[in-house]
């Protein structure tokens, strides 16, 4: 998932980037509000972490811009402000949660997972797909009693992102931008994503046909779940 970190404390921003990258998030970092405003205007993010106490920008104004230009992004406020009013106003403006400083990085990651589950209607981190069990916390896929150890990190990212958007067709460009953090040209994009999907199907077919992983001709891919 693609994350924008807006934090003026350089040491904390670096710490957040290193930590979240270790959990396979793709991160952009902005140390001031002006740069963040430019990023929000041109890029699409899954998560935006906003420090309210920026030296050059009101964090709440930046939150308004984020909700306008990235309406599907999940927004988490990071704040040292003690005033309840600021937190309430942030939530009223559309923030999904807030985390007062100082905070634990593990708590941050846990809250990000919880927010993601709420948005996409997942009650838990274990999802059954036709006998395959996807564990979104431990980032493993199992079949029966055995873990499928051949699935790579990026292959899992593809399955997890499609799963979050279950029953919705995602284009190759969307998958590239939100998982790799960039959009590549159409010709390369097609081979790039298609090759990963082909490898995933080949590995899962050893256990059972992954009929739930569908190709939508001319559009992209989706995970189909009957509800």
In the chain, what are the domains? 2-120 (3.40.50.2300), 126-223 (1.10.10.10)
**Prior bond to 102 cis, omega within 30?**
yes
pLDDT tens digits along 28-84: 999 999 999 999 999 889 999 999 889 899 889 999 999 999 888 999 998 876 567
Helix pair angle (84-92, 59-69), 10° resolution: 10
Global confidence as pTM = 0.78
Structure tokens at 182: 């960039």
Distance CA 18, CA 3 (A): 12
Task: Report the distance separating Cα 143 and Cα 125, nearest Å.
Answer: 16
């Amino acid at each position: 998932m693609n994350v924008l970190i807006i934090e003026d404390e350089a040491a904390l921003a670096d710490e957040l980037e290193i930590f979240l990258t270790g959990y396979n998030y793709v991160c952009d970092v902005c140390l001031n509000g002006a740069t963040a405003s430019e990023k929000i205007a041109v890029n699409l993010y899954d998560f935006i972490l906003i420090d309210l106490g920026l030296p050059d920008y009101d964090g709440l104004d930046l939150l308004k811009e984020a909700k306008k230009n990235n309406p599907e992004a999940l927004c988490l406020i990071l704040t040292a402000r003690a005033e309840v009013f600021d937190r309430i106003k942030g939530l009223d403006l559309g923030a999904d949660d807030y985390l007062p400083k100082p905070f634990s990085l593990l708590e941050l990651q846990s809250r990000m997972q919880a927010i993601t589950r709420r948005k996409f209607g997942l009650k838990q981190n274990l999802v059954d797909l036709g006998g395959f069990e996807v564990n979104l916390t431990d980032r493993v896929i199992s079949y029966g009693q055995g873990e499928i150890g051949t699935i790579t990190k990026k292959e899992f990212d593809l399955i997890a992102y499609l799963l979050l958007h279950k029953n919705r067709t995602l284009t190759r460009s969307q998958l590239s931008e939100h998982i790799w953090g960039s959009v590549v040209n159409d010709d390369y994009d097609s081979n790039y994503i298609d090759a990963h999907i082909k490898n995933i199907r080949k590995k899962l077919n050893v256990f059972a046909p992954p009929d739930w992983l569908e190709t939508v001709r001319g559009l992209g891919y989706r995970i189909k779940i009957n509800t």
